[in-house]
């Protein structure tokens, strides 16, 4: 008995003649042989072995899994499978981050129902760099890329590196695009059964109407946009049916152009006037004046000679990438570029209408805010493109500066704003690059980001190019896209500033 600890209960009772039964103590278990030699607290003091002068400050926390997400809300997102493009580092898990939009749609465990991507970010934060890395890395999985309008010609280096010559669109250049092209849907028209011909006609006419609505509606009448109502729709649709020979039930349809459409409306035939239910030619001309003048602007306006004749470029759809450079239009202003993008989108959509199964493509719309700012009808035409993506398997990748670019199409409560808000939800994947503090609140309002995610976008993501918060459905990942030096050379967009060094 240790004197310092005094007498214990057993001794005390023994003094009074009670003997407590003694408890048999089990032998201590034999220690297992060490598998690894013990490591000193500061690591092994040897070159290359990780010795540290101070031990790592590890704090231990204990809480339930209910409470943990309150303290570390961003750690809660479960990992994504390692399939698709390896983009860089997931800073929350410390592992690699892989992007595979179509794979995510097919995986029921991931809350994504469409493969569309919207990327937002302040200029120069690495949005286009991420697009380029994504497209390049997806090529290994059989994806081809279509750059539907490159307003800064910044994809040219990438195209050339892949052995493809991009098409340049501008005044005085040979390349013309007909947004009223049929695309592959007109193939073998003569042999199509009636039901199939009607189905295809509905798709083609639908696309053309969306385009004309977008083009007419992008023009302004004072503060308001030129209206395009149901009567205008009937007139345009009937005129297009006449021009293509669809009305006459031809076995071969004739491709038409915007100037031809405008000319027919300007000098309507007697059949067109009657079919559109106007009493006289005079009445037809009076009531379609606004429509005709708006279309006339496209024929004789800034973009004349670019989108008003038959397509002159032969696109090789089997090439890994195709791009349409638009920098030559820059001097014409944002609006002209927006209209050019609307025309290209319609054409591009037509070209993809009969995509073969397995022909996987990433359709990139960089600087899409220029189109979205044109007005509600341009937003609708954009919306139509995104809705199609699930049908044809394309990944639509749109790049804008901030979510409210989509809202500038109309007044706060207008229909355009409602459509633009819906449009945001049409892309289940959003990549949020760095933003100024002022935009942070908007991210909360329009995308419902919590304060922590908002801080990441306005803080962490601003401190490095390529850093972004990836929202995959309602899960969030803190990702830094890493560029290989060869990719960095292809993604370099600061050439103009180099002389300032
Ligand atoms: N992940 C990255 N790591 C390092 N540098 C990058 C990364 N992404 C882009 N950069 C560099 O940052 C510069 C600007 O990038 P980028 O052109 O992609 O920005 P952006 O957000 O598309 O800008 P803008 O809105 O003006 O189009 C480029 O010179 C590019 O080389
Ligand atoms: Mg860019």
pLDDT at 1: 44
Q: Tokens standing for 26?
A: 């089990």
Phi/psi region, residue 338 (left: phi>0; alpha: psi -120 to 50; beta: rest), is: alpha
Please give the pLDDT value at position 389.
58
Q: Are residues 340 and 468 located together in one domain of the fold?
A: yes
Give the end of a domain, one of 232, 252, 287. 287
Q: Of 225, 252, 287, which marks where a domain is finished?
A: 287
Strands 395-400 and 321-325: unpaired
* SS3 state at 120: strand
Q: Is residue 148, in this structure, part of any structural domain at all?
A: yes
Strand order in the sheet with 395-400: 96-99, 85-90, 475-481, 467-472, 429-433, 117-120, 395-400, 361-365, 144-150, 321-325, 167-168
- pLDDT of the residue at 408: 61
* Residue 408 contacts residue 372 (beta carbons within 8 Å): yes
Residues 316 and 271 reside in one and the same domain? no
Do residues 125 and 203 both lie within one domain?
A: no
Q: How far is the CA of 140 from the centre of ligand 2 (A)?
A: 23
Segments of the chain with pLDDT less than 70: 1-4, 69, 72-76, 388-392, 406-417, 420, 501
Contact 210, 273 (CB under 8 A): no
Please give the tally of structural domains in the chain. 2
Whether 99 and 130 map to the same domain: the answer is: yes
Cβ neighbours of 306 (radius 10 Å): 23
Which pLDDT does position 292 carry in this prediction? 92
Distance of CA 133 to the CA centre of its chain: 14
Backbone angles phi, psi at 428, to 5 degrees: -80, -15
Nearest atom, ligand 1, residue 129 CA: 18
Does the residue 315 lie in any domain?
yes
Radius of gyration, CA atoms only, the chain:
32
What Å distances lie between residue 341 and 64, 131, 225, 361, 478, CA to CA?
A: 52, 18, 18, 19, 32
Please indicate, yes or no, whether residues 261 and 232 belong to a single structural domain of this protein: yes
pLDDT at 161: 95
pLDDT of residue 225: 80
**CA 136/CA 382 separation, integer angstroms:** 24
Q: Are residues 327 and 463 in the same domain?
A: yes
Task: Using the mean position of ligand 2's atoms as its centre, give its distance from the Cα of residue 364 in Å.
Answer: 11
List the end-to-end C-alpha distance of the chain, in Å, as a whole number.
83
Q: Is residue 4 part of a domain?
A: no
What's the 121 CA to ligand 1 centre distance in angstroms? 10
Which ligand is nearest the CA of 487, by number? 1
Q: What range defines the domain where residue 159 resides?
A: 76-177+311-490
Q: What residue ranges line ligand 1, CB within 6 angstroms? A: 121, 123-129, 465-466, 481, 483, 488, 491-494
The pLDDT value recorded for residue 409 is: 53
Between the CA of 115 and the centroid of ligand 1 the distance, in Å, is 23
CATH assignment at residue 364? 3.40.50.300
Q: Would you state the pLDDT for residue 296?
A: 87
- Mutating to test ligand 1, I would choose from 493, 498, 500 the residue with most ligand atoms within 8 A of its C-beta, which is 493
């Amino acid at each position: 008995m240790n004197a310092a600890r005094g007498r214990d209960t057993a001794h005390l009772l023994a003094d009074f003649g009670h003997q407590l039964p003694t408890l048999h103590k089990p032998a201590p278990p034999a220690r297992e042989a060490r598998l690894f030699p013990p490591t000193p607290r500061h690591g092994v003091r040897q070159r290359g072995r990780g010795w540290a002068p101070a031990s790592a400050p590890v704090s231990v926390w204990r809480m339930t899994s209910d409470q943990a997400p309150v303290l570390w809300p961003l750690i809660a997102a479960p990992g994504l499978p390692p399939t698709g493009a390896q983009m860089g580092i997931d800073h929350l898990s410390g592992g690699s981050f892989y992007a595979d939009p179509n794979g995510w749609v097919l995986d029921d465990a991931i809350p994504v129902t469409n493969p569309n991507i919207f990327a937002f970010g302040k200029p120069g934060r690495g949005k286009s760099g991420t697009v380029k890395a994504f497209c390049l890395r997806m090529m290994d999985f059989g994806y081809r890329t279509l750059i539907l309008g490159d307003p800064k010609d910044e994809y040219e280096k990438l195209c050339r590196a892949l052995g493809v010559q991009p098409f340049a669109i501008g005044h005085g250049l040979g390349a013309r695009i007909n947004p009223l092209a049929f695309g592959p849907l007109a193939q073998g028209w003569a042999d199509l059964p009636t039901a199939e011909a009607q189905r295809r006609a509905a798709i083609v006419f639908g696309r053309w109407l969306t385009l004309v609505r977008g083009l007419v509606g992008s023009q302004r009448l004072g503060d308001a946009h030129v209206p395009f109502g149901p009567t205008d729709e009937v007139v345009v649709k009937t005129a297009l049916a006449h021009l293509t020979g669809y009305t006459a039930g031809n076995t071969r349809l004739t491709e038409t152009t915007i100037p031809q459409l405008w000319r027919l409306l300007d000098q309507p035939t007697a059949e067109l006037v009657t079919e559109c239910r106007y009493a006289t030619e005079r009445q037809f001309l009076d009531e379609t004046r606004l429509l005709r003048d708006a279309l006339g602007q496209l024929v004789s306006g800034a973009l004349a000679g670019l989108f008003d004749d038959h397509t002159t470029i032969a696109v090789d759809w089997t090439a890994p990438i195709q791009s349409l450079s638009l920098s030559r239009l820059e001097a014409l202003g944002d609006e002209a570029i927006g209209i050019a993008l609307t025309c290209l989108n319609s054409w591009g959509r037509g070209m993809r209408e009969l995509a073969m199964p397995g022909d996987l493509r990433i359709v990139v719309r960089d600087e899409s805010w220029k189109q979205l700012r044109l007005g509600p009808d341009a937003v609708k035409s954009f919306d139509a493109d995104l809705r199609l993506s699930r049908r044809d398997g394309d990944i639509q990748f749109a790049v804008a500066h901030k979510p409210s670019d989509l809202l500038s199409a109309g007044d706060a409560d207008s229909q355009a704003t409602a459509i633009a808000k819906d449009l945001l939800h049409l892309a289940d994947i959003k990549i949020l690059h760095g933003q100024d503090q002022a935009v942070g609140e908007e991210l909360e309002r329009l995308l419902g980001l919590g304060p922590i995610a908002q801080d990441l976008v306005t803080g962490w993501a601003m401190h490095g190019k390529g850093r972004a918060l990836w929202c995959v459905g309602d899960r969030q990942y803190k990702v830094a896209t890493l560029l290989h030096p060869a990719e960095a050379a292809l993604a370099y967009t600061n050439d103009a500033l180099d002389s300032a060094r």
